[in-house]
Amino acid sequence: MTKGEDGLKSIHPRHPRSTTPFFSFRRHLPPLFSAALALLASLPLAVAASAQPLPDLTELSVEQLMNVEIATVYGASKYEQKVTEAPSSVSIVTAEEIKRYGYRTLADILRGVRGFYVTNDRNYATIGVRGFNRPGDLNTRVLLLVDGHRINDNLYESAPIGTEFPVDVDLIDRIEVIRGPGSSLYGTNAFFGVINVITRRGGDLQGTEVSGSAGSFDTYTGRVSYGNEFDSGLEMLLSASVMDSAGPKRLFFREFDTPASNNGMAERADDDKNYQFLTKLNYRDFTLTGVYASREKGIPTASFGTLFNDARTRTSDEHGYLDLRYAHLFTGRTEVTARVYYDRFYYHGDFLYDRRSDPADPLLAVLNKDLGWGSWWGAEAQATRTFLGRHKVTAGVEYRDNFRQDQSNYDAVPNLQYLDDRRNSSIWALYLQDEVRLRENLSLNAGVRFDHYDTFGGTTNPRLALIYRPLEGSVLKLLYGEAFRAPGAFEFFYSDGGQTIKANPGLRPEKIRTYELVYEQYLGERFRSSLSGFYYRIDDLISQQLDPADGLIRFDNIEQVDARGVELELEGRWANGLRGRLSYTFQDTEDVQSGRTLTNSPQHLVKLNLIAPLIRERLFAGIEEQYTSRRTTLAGGFASAYYLTNLTLFSRNLLPGLDLSATLYNLFDTRYGDPGAAEHLQDVIGQDGLTFRVKLTYLF
C-alpha cells in the first residue's frame, strides 16, 4: 500500500493514523464571499448613518492619531507590547466577549476567531488553522499556554480545547491568538501559532462569585470562586467548577442501520462530565498557580471497530500542574522572569471489542484498556534589556525533564498485554531575540532558538519581522518564520508487539517555513481593518505508512504540504456599546506530490460577530454568524458547507451583582457534520442541532 491510499487504519484509540487521502477540487468563490466583501465595504457607512461620521485620517491631528486605542499582547515576544509592534498577526478575545457570546469552551471561543475552524468527532475537538486540520489529529501543531505555562502534554503533544481544557472559561481574562511560527521563542508545537490564555487575578473578584447553568441534554454546570487582594499585597484566587451532561438520548448513524446494531441508534452514549480546580496566588514579584482537572467522555461513534451502542466505551483525561513564576523590573530597564513547574498527565481509554473469531459464535465482549502516563518538570529563565535606546534584547534558557512517558495497552478479561512501554527524555533550549528600532517608524524583530532533544538531536528555528508604521494608526508587517514539531512519544515508541504497528525511533521533526504580509489600519478610535496574505510549506510531515519489508505500519516523514491564503477583517466599536467584527478567509492547502486539496480543509470561512446594546449597560444581544465551505473527507466525499448562527442575550447587574445570560446555539437548527477520521466508520459525523443554555452568575 502506498502513501495516501484509503483503508489504512490506526490501531491506537487516542491517536489515529496521520495518513490522509486527498481529493482534488477547484471551484469559484461562493456568492457569500461577494456579499461579505460588500458588507466589509459598507459597514462603516451603514453605521455612520446612525452614529457620528467616520473621521478622515488625513484630517486628524497627530495628537488624535496617537490617541487611537490599541490592544497589547504578551505572548508574541514574551513581553508586553502593542499588537501593532508584535512580530505576528494577533487577535485578542476578552472576558466580556466570552460572556456576551455565551461561549462554553475554548473550542467555542476559537470558532469565532478569524481563520480558525473546529472539528468535533464527539470525543475530542481539534483546531483547524490556515487550512490545516488532518482528520484524527489532536492539536499537536498549535501551542496552548495558560499564563505562559505549556499545556500540551509530553506523550501525545496535544492541546486540549474542549471540555477537557483544564481551566473554566469564566476564569479567563483574555486570550491572545498569535498566528504564525513561534518556535523561535517557544520550541515545539508552536507550528501554526500560539494561543496564550491569561486568567483572572484575585483582585478582579474582590469577593465570592457563584455561577450555575442549565441547558440541553440535561447539561448542568456549577462554579464557586473566591478572590481578594489583601492589605499585605497578597492576591488570592480559589475556584472549583463541575459540569455534567447526559448528552443526546439518541444519536442516529446510518452506517450502523441494521437490526443487530439497534437500527443505527446510539442511546445514552454521548455523556460528558468534568471538574476543574484552580488556585492562584500573587505576592509582589511571585505568582504561584495550581491547576487540576479531570474529564470523562462517552464515545457514541463506535470508533476503532468497537461495539456499537455500548456506553462502556469512553475516555478519561486528567491534567494538573504547579507553576511558580518570578518577574521583576530592575533599574536600568532590565526585566527578569523565571519559572519552575511540575506537570502530571493521565489518559485512560476503555474500548469494548467483540473478540470472537467466528461470527457464528456467541458475542465475546472484551474491554480493552489503553493508558498513558506523563510526568515532567521544567525551568525557564529570561532577561529583557534595552540597549542604546534602540535595541530591546531578550535572552532565555529552558530545560524540561520528561521523567515519565509510559504507554500501556491490554485486554482486561482475559488479561492479554499488547504494550508496556516506559520512557523518559529531556530537552534543553537557548533563545535570543532583538527588537531593533531602525527609525522612529521602522523596526526589525529578529530571533532564533536552538532546541536539543535526546531522541533526534538539535534543531534551529529563526524568525524575522520588518514592521513599518507610516502613521500612528497604520502598520505594515513583513514576516518570515520557521518552526518545528517534534515527534511525540507515541509516534516514536508505540508498538503492539509485531501485530500491526511498530516503533520508529528514527523519526525527524516536521518543519514549516512561513511568509506573511500583514497590513493593519486603525481608522480613528472606532474602526480597525486588517488584510494579510500568507504562504507556507511543510516538509517531513509525519504520516503512517506500510513497511513493505514486514507489512507493519509505522510513522515516517513522508509528506510535503503547500498552502497560500488571504485573510480580511473589519472591526468597529461605538460609544453606545455597539461593536461588530466581520472576517473572510480564503485558503488553498494541498499535498505537493499529488497536487490535491487536503482533507478537512475548507477554502472559505466567513464570520460575523455583533454585540448590540438593547438597554444601555444592562441588556445586550450577542450574535454570531459563521460560514464554512465544504470539506473533502477521507473517503473522497464532502462534508457540506454550512451556516451556523448563535444568539445570546446577556444582562449585566439585573440585580446588584447578578448577571444573567441565555443562549441559543445553532439557532436555525442547521444540519451539518465534520469529516470523520480513519478510526470512524462514518465519513461525516453529524453535529448538534438547536440547543440552549441559561446561566446565572452572582458576585457577593
What are the tens digits of pLDDT across the range 554-607? 888 989 999 999 999 999 998 888 999 999 999 999 999 889 999 999 999 999
pLDDT score of 14:
52
* Residue 499: predicted pLDDT: 66
Q: Determine contact, residues 411/355, Cβ cutoff 8 Å.
A: yes
Max Cα-Cα span within the chain: 85
pLDDT-based confidence at 97, cuts 50/70/90?
very high
Q: Exposed e or buried b for every residue in 232-267, given b needs 16+ CB within 10 A?
A: eeebbbbbbbbbebbbbeebebebbeeeebbebbbe
Grid coordinates representing 79? 513581553
Q: What is the mean pLDDT of residues 277-294?
A: 97
Cut 0.95: pTM above it = no
Task: Report the alpha-carbon distance of residue 186 to residue 206 in Å, rounded.
Answer: 34
d(CA 45, CA 49): 7
Q: Which DSSP category does 380 fall into? A: E
| Residue 535 in this model has a pLDDT that exceeds 50 | yes
Beta-ladder partners of 647? 623, 664
For the domain spanning 31-699, the CATH number is: 2.40.170.20
Contact 484, 463 (CB under 8 A): no
* Rounded CA separation 677/551 (Å): 22
Which pLDDT band, with edges at 50, 70 and 90, does 497 fall under? low
pLDDT > 90 fraction of the chain, expressed in percent and rounded? 77
pLDDT (0 to 100) of residue 516: 98
What residues contact 349, with CB distance under 8 A and at least 6 apart?
A: 13, 14, 314, 315, 316, 369, 370, 371
Domain positions in the chain = 31-699
On average, the pLDDT of the chain sits at 89
Asked if pLDDT for residue 316 goes beyond 60, the answer is yes
**330 or 58, higher pLDDT:** 330
Sequence-ordered list of residues with C-beta below 8 angstroms from that of 190, at least 6 positions apart, any chain? 142, 143, 181, 182, 183, 483
